[in-house]
Chain A
Amino acid sequence: GQNIDQPTEMTATEGAIVQINCTYQTSGFNGLFWYQQHAGEAPTFLSYNVLDGLEEKGRFSSFLSRSKGYSYLLLKELQMKDSASYLCAAMDSNYQLIWGAGTKLIIKP
Protein backbone atom coordinates (compact mmCIF):
# COMPACT_ATOMS: atom_id res chain seq x y z
CA GLY A 1 0.00 0.00 0.00
CA GLN A 2 0.91 3.65 -0.15
CA ASN A 3 2.02 5.34 3.03
CA ILE A 4 3.56 8.54 4.33
CA ASP A 5 5.08 8.77 7.80
CA GLN A 6 6.03 11.93 9.63
CA PRO A 7 6.17 12.82 13.31
CA THR A 8 2.94 14.03 14.85
CA GLU A 9 4.40 16.94 16.78
CA MET A 10 7.71 18.69 17.32
CA THR A 11 8.78 21.55 19.58
CA ALA A 12 11.61 23.97 18.92
CA THR A 13 12.93 27.27 20.22
CA GLU A 14 12.73 30.60 18.43
CA GLY A 15 15.93 31.25 16.50
CA ALA A 16 16.92 27.59 16.41
CA ILE A 17 16.91 25.01 13.59
CA VAL A 18 14.46 22.13 13.24
CA GLN A 19 14.35 19.19 10.84
CA ILE A 20 11.06 17.47 10.05
CA ASN A 21 11.47 14.02 8.56
CA CYS A 22 9.18 12.19 6.17
CA THR A 23 9.36 8.66 4.80
CA TYR A 24 7.18 7.49 1.97
CA GLN A 25 6.09 4.37 0.13
CA THR A 26 4.22 4.91 -3.09
CA SER A 27 3.35 3.13 -6.31
CA GLY A 28 5.76 4.95 -8.53
CA PHE A 29 7.14 8.36 -7.66
CA ASN A 30 6.82 11.74 -9.30
CA GLY A 31 8.10 14.03 -6.60
CA LEU A 32 7.80 15.04 -2.97
CA PHE A 33 6.02 18.15 -1.74
CA TRP A 34 6.08 20.07 1.50
CA TYR A 35 3.21 22.34 2.47
CA GLN A 36 2.69 24.61 5.46
CA GLN A 37 -0.75 24.87 7.03
CA HIS A 38 -1.69 27.31 9.76
CA ALA A 39 -4.68 26.42 11.90
CA GLY A 40 -7.96 27.09 10.13
CA GLU A 41 -6.27 27.90 6.84
CA ALA A 42 -5.56 26.02 3.63
CA PRO A 43 -2.09 24.61 2.91
CA THR A 44 0.50 26.76 1.17
CA PHE A 45 3.24 25.35 -1.01
CA LEU A 46 6.78 25.30 0.37
CA SER A 47 8.87 23.02 -1.81
CA TYR A 48 9.01 20.31 -4.43
CA ASN A 49 11.81 17.76 -4.87
CA VAL A 50 11.99 15.15 -7.59
CA LEU A 51 15.77 14.68 -7.81
CA ASP A 52 18.02 13.59 -4.98
CA GLY A 53 19.63 16.35 -3.01
CA LEU A 54 19.00 19.53 -1.13
CA GLU A 55 16.90 22.43 -2.39
CA GLU A 56 17.39 25.65 -0.48
CA LYS A 57 14.86 28.44 -0.45
CA GLY A 58 15.60 31.16 2.08
CA ARG A 59 15.18 29.88 5.64
CA PHE A 60 13.61 26.67 4.40
CA SER A 61 15.40 23.76 2.72
CA SER A 62 14.11 20.40 1.57
CA PHE A 63 16.07 17.22 0.99
CA LEU A 64 15.19 14.08 -0.93
CA SER A 65 16.69 10.60 -1.14
CA ARG A 66 14.71 8.52 -3.62
CA SER A 67 16.60 5.32 -2.87
CA LYS A 68 15.69 5.60 0.81
CA GLY A 69 12.17 6.92 0.32
CA TYR A 70 13.09 9.77 2.62
CA SER A 71 12.77 13.52 2.75
CA TYR A 72 13.22 16.22 5.30
CA LEU A 73 12.26 19.85 5.66
CA LEU A 74 14.81 22.02 7.41
CA LEU A 75 13.73 25.29 8.96
CA LYS A 76 16.41 27.73 10.09
CA GLU A 77 16.26 30.84 12.27
CA LEU A 78 12.86 29.82 13.53
CA GLN A 79 10.28 32.53 14.05
CA MET A 80 7.09 32.39 16.07
CA LYS A 81 5.09 32.62 12.83
CA ASP A 82 6.58 29.28 11.77
CA SER A 83 4.28 27.58 14.27
CA ALA A 84 2.07 25.53 11.98
CA SER A 85 1.50 22.05 10.64
CA TYR A 86 3.88 20.85 7.95
CA LEU A 87 2.47 18.38 5.47
CA CYS A 88 4.58 15.96 3.46
CA ALA A 89 3.01 14.62 0.27
CA ALA A 90 4.40 12.22 -2.33
CA MET A 91 3.12 12.08 -5.89
CA ASP A 92 2.58 8.57 -7.20
CA SER A 93 2.70 7.17 -10.71
CA ASN A 94 -0.83 8.47 -11.39
CA TYR A 95 0.26 11.99 -10.41
CA GLN A 96 -1.91 11.73 -7.31
CA LEU A 97 -0.69 13.25 -4.06
CA ILE A 98 -0.48 10.90 -1.09
CA TRP A 99 -0.62 13.02 2.05
CA GLY A 100 1.02 12.52 5.40
CA ALA A 101 -0.92 13.33 8.55
CA GLY A 102 1.18 16.44 9.12
CA THR A 103 3.68 17.48 11.77
CA LYS A 104 2.54 20.14 14.20
CA LEU A 105 5.49 22.40 14.93
CA ILE A 106 5.37 24.38 18.16
CA ILE A 107 7.82 27.26 18.52
CA LYS A 108 8.65 28.46 22.02
CA PRO A 109 10.22 31.83 22.82
Chain B
Amino acid sequence: GAVVSQHPSWVICKSGTSVKIECRSLDFQATTMFWYRQFPKQSLMLMATSNEGSKATYEQGVEKDKFLINHASLTLSTLTVTSAHPEDSSFYICSARAGREAGEQFFGPGTRLTVL
Protein backbone atom coordinates (compact mmCIF):
# COMPACT_ATOMS: atom_id res chain seq x y z
CA GLY B 1 0.00 0.00 0.00
CA ALA B 2 0.86 3.66 -0.19
CA VAL B 3 3.24 5.00 2.44
CA VAL B 4 3.08 8.36 4.16
CA SER B 5 5.84 9.51 6.47
CA GLN B 6 5.84 12.23 9.07
CA HIS B 7 8.74 13.97 10.71
CA PRO B 8 9.43 14.40 13.54
CA SER B 9 7.69 11.57 15.40
CA TRP B 10 7.68 13.58 18.56
CA VAL B 11 8.83 17.00 19.61
CA ILE B 12 9.08 18.89 22.86
CA CYS B 13 9.38 22.65 22.69
CA LYS B 14 9.16 25.71 24.87
CA SER B 15 6.11 27.93 24.89
CA GLY B 16 6.35 30.67 22.29
CA THR B 17 8.49 28.77 19.81
CA SER B 18 7.40 27.49 16.39
CA VAL B 19 7.42 23.90 15.32
CA LYS B 20 7.35 22.55 11.77
CA ILE B 21 5.97 19.09 10.96
CA GLU B 22 6.58 17.48 7.58
CA CYS B 23 4.31 15.03 5.83
CA ARG B 24 5.56 13.14 2.78
CA SER B 25 3.92 10.67 0.43
CA LEU B 26 6.71 8.26 -0.40
CA ASP B 27 5.42 6.23 -3.32
CA PHE B 28 2.55 8.19 -4.79
CA GLN B 29 1.64 11.74 -5.68
CA ALA B 30 -0.71 13.28 -3.16
CA THR B 31 -2.98 15.82 -4.77
CA THR B 32 -4.74 16.34 -1.46
CA MET B 33 -3.33 16.23 2.05
CA PHE B 34 -5.16 16.54 5.33
CA TRP B 35 -4.00 17.63 8.75
CA TYR B 36 -5.71 16.27 11.84
CA ARG B 37 -5.32 16.83 15.54
CA GLN B 38 -6.24 14.26 18.13
CA PHE B 39 -6.43 14.82 21.86
CA PRO B 40 -6.21 11.84 24.23
CA LYS B 41 -9.22 9.52 24.07
CA GLN B 42 -10.88 11.69 21.45
CA SER B 43 -11.49 11.18 17.77
CA LEU B 44 -9.66 12.79 14.90
CA MET B 45 -10.38 16.45 14.36
CA LEU B 46 -9.76 17.74 10.85
CA MET B 47 -7.81 20.97 10.94
CA ALA B 48 -7.35 21.72 7.26
CA THR B 49 -7.35 20.33 3.77
CA SER B 50 -4.66 21.29 1.32
CA ASN B 51 -4.49 20.74 -2.40
CA GLU B 52 -1.14 20.98 -4.11
CA GLY B 53 -0.42 24.45 -5.38
CA SER B 54 -3.34 26.18 -3.68
CA LYS B 55 -4.08 27.62 -0.27
CA ALA B 56 -5.26 25.32 2.46
CA THR B 57 -8.91 25.25 3.49
CA TYR B 58 -9.19 25.50 7.26
CA GLU B 59 -11.99 24.08 9.37
CA GLN B 60 -14.06 26.39 11.48
CA GLY B 61 -12.30 27.34 14.68
CA VAL B 62 -8.79 26.60 13.40
CA GLU B 63 -6.60 29.70 13.23
CA LYS B 64 -4.88 29.81 9.87
CA ASP B 65 -2.29 32.30 11.11
CA LYS B 66 -1.33 29.98 13.93
CA PHE B 67 -1.31 26.74 11.96
CA LEU B 68 0.49 27.47 8.71
CA ILE B 69 0.13 24.84 6.01
CA ASN B 70 2.21 24.64 2.88
CA HIS B 71 1.58 22.01 0.21
CA ALA B 72 4.39 22.97 -2.11
CA SER B 73 4.71 19.75 -4.06
CA LEU B 74 2.79 16.59 -4.80
CA THR B 75 4.76 14.71 -2.17
CA LEU B 76 5.25 17.19 0.64
CA SER B 77 3.05 19.20 2.96
CA THR B 78 4.19 21.03 6.08
CA LEU B 79 2.32 22.21 9.14
CA THR B 80 3.95 24.93 11.23
CA VAL B 81 2.56 25.58 14.68
CA THR B 82 3.55 29.17 15.37
CA SER B 83 4.05 30.56 18.87
CA ALA B 84 3.10 27.25 20.39
CA HIS B 85 1.42 27.13 23.79
CA PRO B 86 0.76 24.21 26.15
CA GLU B 87 -2.81 23.91 24.90
CA ASP B 88 -1.39 23.09 21.44
CA SER B 89 0.10 19.89 22.85
CA SER B 90 -1.54 17.11 20.90
CA PHE B 91 -1.09 14.29 18.43
CA TYR B 92 -0.91 15.74 14.91
CA ILE B 93 -1.60 13.35 12.05
CA CYS B 94 -1.42 13.96 8.33
CA SER B 95 -3.04 11.93 5.61
CA ALA B 96 -2.73 11.96 1.87
CA ARG B 97 -5.00 11.10 -1.00
CA ALA B 98 -3.98 10.51 -4.58
CA GLY B 99 -6.81 12.51 -6.10
CA ARG B 100 -9.20 15.27 -5.06
CA GLU B 101 -12.04 12.81 -5.19
CA ALA B 102 -10.29 9.50 -4.67
CA GLY B 103 -11.39 7.34 -1.78
CA GLU B 104 -8.83 6.14 0.63
CA GLN B 105 -6.70 8.40 2.77
CA PHE B 106 -3.30 7.09 3.76
CA PHE B 107 -2.19 8.21 7.18
CA GLY B 108 1.22 9.18 8.39
CA PRO B 109 2.42 7.79 11.73
CA GLY B 110 1.66 11.03 13.57
CA THR B 111 3.67 13.59 15.49
CA ARG B 112 3.29 13.99 19.22
CA LEU B 113 3.84 17.62 20.19
CA THR B 114 4.44 18.62 23.79
CA VAL B 115 4.71 22.32 24.58
CA LEU B 116 6.21 23.11 27.95
Which residues of A does B touch, CB under 8 Å?
Answer: 30-31, 33, 35, 40-45, 48, 50, 87, 91, 95-97, 99-102
Contacts and interface: CB of A to CB of B under 8 A. Distances in A.
Contact of A99 (B1, B46, B109): B46
Given A42-B109, A50-B103, A91-B103, 15 more contacts: A30-B103, A33-B104, A40-B112, A41-B109, A42-B93, A42-B107, A42-B110, A43-B44, A43-B93, A45-B104, A45-B107, A87-B43, A97-B34, A97-B105, A99-B43
B25 interface: no
B66 interface: no
Nearest to B49: A96
Interface residues of B, number: 21
26 contacts: A30-B101, A30-B103, A31-B103, A33-B103, A33-B104, A35-B107, A40-B112, A41-B109, A41-B110, A42-B107, A42-B108, A42-B109, A44-B107, A45-B1, A45-B104, A45-B106, A45-B107, A48-B104, A87-B44, A91-B103, A95-B100, A97-B105, A99-B43, A99-B44, A99-B46, A101-B43
Nearest to B2: A45
B42 interface: yes
Contacts, number: 45
Contacts of A50: 103
Contacts of A87: 43-44
Interface string B79-116: 00000000000010100000011011111111010000
A45 B3 CA distance: 12
Interface string B9-44: 000000000000000000000000010000000111
